[in-house]
């Protein structure tokens, strides 16, 4: 299913009709649907929000979206809600915001949901054409993709997984939220290549270890590394001779996350790709990282 249609399918009644009434060009630029209780639903495109449909979003609308996204099994999505999102068919991720339920000092879920961010997933075959040769100069090396949220990290990661797999590399994807491969009911919805194995729904750090031990990968791919366990799992995989392909939030002129800094200083990555998004266009820049 097309990513836009998959995201729009989660919207109830008038909101869905408004989404399906968008012009083709606007559909292509659509990045998210944003629903905030008591306010108008909006479309995020090219970094800006505009009204999708007049009238305030109600609690019933929010609940209807969550029920559709989880197949009417909201209680079964408790583990995902604990991490602030729900995965839906088509590689769609629904970010959830509201009143956190805490237990033992950690978030156990979300109640009184106030906002939803419905991400529109896209596969863009060929988006890596301009950097493929640079990434393979002397052979593919462990690569870190960095960009601000919503700039296209996951799209580039997915395409690189597909191309590496198509070239005969055994690629294992730790796809915690199902966004990279759209692992729905055991099969990937996106084309991630013929030699790719996908583990969905497991926290990244645990999933990386499981894949290295059980699937004999040549490359491990993971989206949005963010904390110390993720970094430790990637270092352990690199120590086993596995190449890494990962994404992280950040920007060229901004501060570097502690996890990424430690991984780079340890020599876990040999190349970094900066993704910049401006004026409706994405630009990829490949940077060689020093060997340690």
The answer on pLDDT for 185 being more than 90 is no
Pairing state between β 171-175 and 219-222: parallel
Is the pLDDT reported for residue 115 higher than 80?
yes
Residue 71: per-residue pLDDT? 79
Q: Quick one: 38 exposed, middle or buried, by C-beta within 10 A (0-12, 13-18, 19+)?
A: exposed
Same domain, 173 and 110: no
pLDDT value for 75: 61
Residue 41 lies in a domain: yes
In contact, 113 and 77? CB cutoff 8 Å: no
Same domain flag for 87 and 186: no
pLDDT in tens, 236-255: 999 999 999 999 999 888 88
Domain of residue 31, residue span? 3-119
Are 115 and 30 in a shared domain?
A: yes
Residue 15: pLDDT band (50, 70, 90) is very high
Looking at the fold, whether 90 and 60 belong to one and the same domain comes out as: yes
Res. 137: pLDDT tops 90: yes
In CATH, what number is assigned to the domain containing residue 151?
A: 3.40.50.300
Same domain assignment for residues 85 and 141: no
Residue 103 has pLDDT above 70, yes or no: no
Q: Report the largest interatomic distance among the alpha carbons of the chain, rounded to a whole angstrom.
A: 57
In this predicted structure, what is the pLDDT of residue 110?
66
- Say if CB 196 and CB 174 are below 8 A apart: no
Nearest to 90 by CA among 7, 177, 173: 7
Question: Considering the domain boundaries, does residue 124 fall inside one?
Answer: no
Asked whether residue 74 falls in the same domain as residue 153, the answer is no
Q: Give backbone dihedrals phi and psi of 231, rounded to 5 degrees, phi first.
A: -65, -40
pTM over 0.85, yes/no: no
Question: Is the same domain home to 83 and 110?
Answer: yes
Output the domain CATH number for residue 38.
Answer: 3.30.450
Residue finishing a domain among 91, 119, 147: 119
Residues 190-201: pLDDT tens digits? 899 999 999 988
The residue ranking higher by pLDDT, 34 or 279, is: 34
Shared domain for 134 and 273, answered yes or no, is yes
Q: Which of 63, 85, 119 is the last residue of a domain?
A: 119
Q: Are 188 and 76 in the same domain?
A: no
* Average pLDDT along the chain: 89
Domain count, the chain: 2
Please determine, for residue 106, whether its predicted confidence score (pLDDT) is greater than 90. Answer: no
Res. 1: pLDDT tops 60:
no
Task: Check: CB of residue 42 under 8 Å from CB of residue 51.
Answer: yes
Q: Are residues 97 and 209 in the same domain?
A: no
Amino acid 144: pLDDT: 97
**Same-domain pairing of 155 and 262:** yes
> Which one of 119, 153, 180 terminates a domain?
119
> Residue 42: beta bridge partners?
34, 51
Q: Are residues 28 and 162 in the same domain?
A: no
């Amino acid at each position: 299913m097309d990513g836009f249609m998959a995201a729009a399918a989660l919207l109830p009644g008038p909101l869905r009709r408004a989404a399906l009434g968008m012009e083709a060009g606007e559909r292509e630029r659509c990045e998210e649907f944003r629903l905030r209780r008591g306010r108008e639903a909006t479309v995020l495109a090219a970094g800006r929000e505009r009204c999708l449909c007049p009238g305030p979003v109600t609690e019933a609308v929010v609940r209807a979206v969550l029920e559709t996204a989880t197949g009417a099994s909201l209680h079964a999505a408790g583990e995902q809600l604990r991490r602030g999102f729900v995965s839906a068919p088509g590689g769609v991720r629904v970010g959830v915001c509201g009143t956190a339920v805490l237990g033992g000092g950690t978030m156990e879920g979300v109640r009184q949901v106030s906002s939803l961010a419905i991400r529109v997933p896209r596969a863009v075959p060929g988006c890596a054409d301009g950097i493929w040769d640079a990434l393979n100069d002397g052979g593919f090396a462990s690569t870190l993709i960095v960009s601000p949220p919503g700039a296209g990290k996951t799209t580039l990661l997915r395409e690189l997984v597909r191309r590496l797999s198509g070239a005969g590399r055994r690629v294992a994807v730790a796809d915690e939220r199902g966004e990279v491969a759209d692992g729905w009911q055991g099969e990937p919805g996106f084309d991630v290549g013929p030699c790719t194995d996908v583990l969905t729904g497991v926290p990244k750090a645990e999933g990386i270890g499981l894949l290295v031990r059980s699937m004999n990968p040549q490359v491990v791919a993971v989206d949005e590394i963010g904390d110390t366990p993720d970094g430790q799992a990637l270092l352990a995989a690199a120590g086993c001779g596995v190449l890494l392909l990962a994404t992280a939030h950040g920007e060229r002129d901004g501060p570097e996350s502690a996890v990424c800094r430690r991984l780079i200083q340890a020599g876990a990555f040999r190349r970094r790709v900066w993704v910049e998004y401006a004026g409706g266009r994405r630009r990829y820049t490949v940077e060689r990282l020093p060997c340690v």
